[in-house]
Amino acid sequence: MEAAYIENAKKWMSSAFDEATRKEVEQVFNTDQKELEDRFYRNLEFGTGGLRGIMGAGTNRMNKYTVGMATQGLANYVVKNFGDGVGVAISYDSRNNSRYFAQITAGVLMQNGLEVYLFDDIRPTPELSFAIRHLECKAGVMITASHNPKEYNGYKVFWDDGAQVTIPHDKNIIDEVNKIEDPSQVKFAPEGAPGPIIIGKEVDEAFFKAVLSLMVTPESVAHHSDLEIVYTPLHGTGIKTVPVVLQRMGFNKVFIVEEQAVGDGNFPTVVSPNPEEPTAMKMAMDKAREVGADIVLGTDPDADRIGLAVRDDSGELKLLTGNQIVAILTKYLLERWKALGKLTGKEYMVTTIVTTELISAICEDYGVELYRVLTGFKNIAEIVRNNEGKRTFIGGGEESNGYNAGEFVRDKDSAVSCGLVCECAAWLADRGQTLYGFLQEIYAQYGLYTDKLVSVVRKGIEGLDQIRQMMVDYREHPVKQLAGSPVVKVIDYLDTEKTGLAKSNVLQFFSADGSKVSVRPSGTEPKIKFYFGVKGDDSAAKIDQLVKQFAV
């Protein structure tokens, strides 16, 4: 009896699939059985965030057919909830095949009786989030694999509030997608079918106006309009928004890394287009050294997260972590809101369970409530939705270099983040201070918090099994101490009664000295993540001990 993956592969070599697909599968079938197994051993999982995977032919790959099947399931759910004729907005990044997948998505949605708005060119994820509400759409799709390597692409689903789908819609959409078992069930658009409504400049202008409305210290920007800033979009969509926002705020010395300003899904100048990584930010930091800039900004391909480098006390450029960026922006916004008399007791901020505990200390100091939610910005957006019209969202962010303020975008937003960072720098310049000095001031006031993320990759079927077993072992044999300090609390986020949050495969260990370790398998990549957090002057040494203890 043939293995299931071989049977699946043979189906994809039939006349039901286009010639290019058949040839690609045939080539792998005849040359690489392990590769064939990886392509066909399962269906590419449509998870709570949508799809993400390597591009290519196969059931476990991003391609016309898997995108079409996902879209058919989504279309069925949208029609079931709202009826036909309602709007869906679509955007896409600069990755290979992103526009193609966006067009496939648009065609399937339209064949199901939905009105589709498609951007005329690449646009960031946060602008899609904005467009959904601006155009009064009921859903949205962003074609992107965020900061993943060039082989990947993805498909993010948004709901009518502009946020990525959460309970119950995420689970219900998954159910509808799982009902589509074969590409023959998909209403692909025939050749020559009418196209979507093309959107662009009008939405851009509305988006820019909203971002600029968040400024809280415009007078400082006027004083320091010559602040020297280097920016790189890392071949992605940020080139469409970040330079425009900075220019309209009043900054007139923004240097673009031209080699990385061209949208290119091969990301030719970086190994991985992740602004959290020093290698991805190298060209921008070299440019800053060349022109003497004090601030370096970078954005990932769909321009929702940022990288930030600043000059330290010795004048050297230092790449900050996501936790440090969140701390700076949280402290800045709260300080300015307090000074402007805008703190009335009805304001709040949001962060995630794996983000530094420093944010809790800052919010407590200002008397502003802080919500902690599961990892993923959609969970931050859910808090904003639940409080809409009742309380005011100041801002919120997560350790993975994502931040947002205001309520018009329901996802992390690099245009907002970059604008706030530069405005904060101008405000600090009025005080004779730098961003790095401000960070040291925060540590001096609240304590030295050191955080580190370590990701362990385990690829293939065996890798998934290894990751599952690691989580089983941590549950059945929980650690008793963290770097020598006894564990005093364990939180298992599968226990919804105790956490009050949705079920999630996350474990957290807290020790008597304030150390925290969170363990979480990635929901989008074949890896398990370890988040280490320590407070105190010896925190760097403790972090090293924790990394060794968890053998990662």
Helix (H), strand (E) at residue 443:
helix 435-446
Helix (H), strand (E) at residue 157:
strand 152-159
Q: Helix or strand or coil: residue 516?
A: strand
In the beta sheet, which residues pair with residue 299? 306
Q: Which of 59, 57, 62 is closest to 24 using CA atoms?
A: 57
Match 């954005």 to its residue by tokens.
299
**Contact criterion met (CB below 8 Å) for 289 and 320:** no
Mark 476-498 as b/e (b = at least 16 C-beta within 10 Å).
eeebeebbebebeeebbbeeeee
Q: pLDDT at position 49, please?
A: 80
Q: Helix or strand or coil: residue 368?
A: coil
Helix axes 125-134, 201-212, angle to 10 degrees: 100
If one counts every other C-beta atom within 10 angstroms of the C-beta of residue 42, the result is: 16
If one counts every other C-beta atom within 10 angstroms of the C-beta of residue 6, the result is: 14
**Contact criterion met (CB below 8 Å) for 387 and 215:** no
**Contact criterion met (CB below 8 Å) for 508 and 490:** yes
User: Of all residues in the chain, what percent are helix, strand and coil, respectively (each to 5)?
Assistant: 40, 20, 35
Residue length of the chain = 552
Q: Which of 478, 484, 498 is closest to 534 using CA atoms?
A: 484
Peptide bond into 168 cis (omega under 30): yes
**Contact criterion met (CB below 8 Å) for 351 and 395:** no
Count CA atoms closer than 13 A to 294's CA, side-chain side. 20
Q: Which of 91, 94, 98, 146 is catalytic?
A: 146
Strands ordered across the beta sheet of 516-521: 449-457, 527-535, 516-521, 507-511, 485-492, 481-482
Whether the model pTM is above 0.85? yes
pLDDT in tens, the chain (552 residues): 578 999 999 999 999 999 999 999 999 999 999 999 999 999 998 888 899 999 999 999 999 999 999 999 999 999 999 999 999 999 999 999 999 999 999 999 999 999 999 999 999 999 999 999 999 999 999 999 998 999 999 999 999 999 999 989 999 999 999 999 999 999 999 999 999 999 999 999 999 999 999 999 999 999 999 999 999 999 999 999 999 999 999 999 999 999 999 999 999 999 999 999 999 999 999 999 999 999 999 999 999 999 999 999 999 999 999 999 999 999 999 999 999 999 999 999 999 999 999 999 999 999 999 999 999 999 999 999 999 999 999 999 999 999 999 999 999 999 999 999 999 999 999 999 999 999 999 999 999 999 999 988 887 778 888 899 999 999 999 999 999 999 999 999 999 999 999 999 999 999 999 899 999 998 666 789 999 999 988 888 899 999 988 866
In the chain, the amino acid numbered 408 is F
Distance (Å, rounded) from C-alpha 246 to C-alpha 240?
A: 12
Match 């720098």 to its residue by tokens.
425
Strands 152-159 and 87-92: unpaired
- Angle value at C-alpha 202, between 200 and 207, nearest 5 degrees: 95
Q: What CA–CA distances, in Å, run from 368 to 331, 361, 427, 485?
A: 11, 10, 22, 31
Q: pLDDT at position 458, please?
A: 85
If one counts every other C-beta atom within 10 angstroms of the C-beta of residue 181, the result is: 9
Q: Which domains does the chain have, with CATH numbers?
A: 1-41 (no CATH), 44-204 (3.40.120.10), 222-446 (3.40.120.10), 449-549 (3.30.310.50)
Which token pair is 63?
């391609």
Q: What CA–CA distances, in Å, run from 520 to 193, 375, 468, 494, 517?
A: 45, 9, 10, 12, 10
Q: What CA–CA distances, in Å, run from 164 to 107, 111, 186, 460, 532?
A: 21, 23, 23, 27, 27
Q: pLDDT at position 78, please?
A: 98
**Contact criterion met (CB below 8 Å) for 231 and 437:** no
Distance (Å, rounded) from C-alpha 11 to C-alpha 487?
A: 53
Distance (Å, rounded) from C-alpha 344 to C-alpha 354?
A: 28
Whether 225 is catalytic: no
